[in-house]
Amino acid sequence: MRFLRAYFDGELFDPANFARMLAWNALFFPMQYGYGLMRFKLPRWMTLFRETPELIGHSGSTGSFAFYAPREQLYLAGTFNQFDKPARPFNLLLSIPTAASGAAESHR
């Protein structure tokens, strides 16, 4: 988690170069790729018009992931002890910010 925060807070790279790292190119739908970073954001038509968080980071081939949700200010990192279902991390990643924002709304 410390690495992920340092990465996105500009402690590891010159923040002036960070914008270039976020120049997204289509990888495979709905994934986009920048300079060493993935962007995962589902369009509203795929989620019954529910807004989903933008997730920026990277996933590994064996169920590991490290992503940042900028709007929600959430850092998410973890691993699954299985890699039979490659979409599993993304299903989890979409549910956490939604649950967190719902919890924040209920405390207002």
Structure confidence at residue 107 (pLDDT): 43
Structure confidence at residue 104 (pLDDT): 47
The domain ranges of the chain are: 2-106
pLDDT tens by residue, 33-76: 888 888 888 777 766 777 778 888 888 777 788 899 888 888 98
Please say whether the dihedral angle defined by the alpha carbons of residues 76, 77, 83 and 86, taken in this order, is positive or negative: positive
For residue 78, the surrounding DSSP H or E stretch is: strand 74-79
Q: Which of 43, 47, 45, 104 is nearest to 73 (CA)?
A: 104
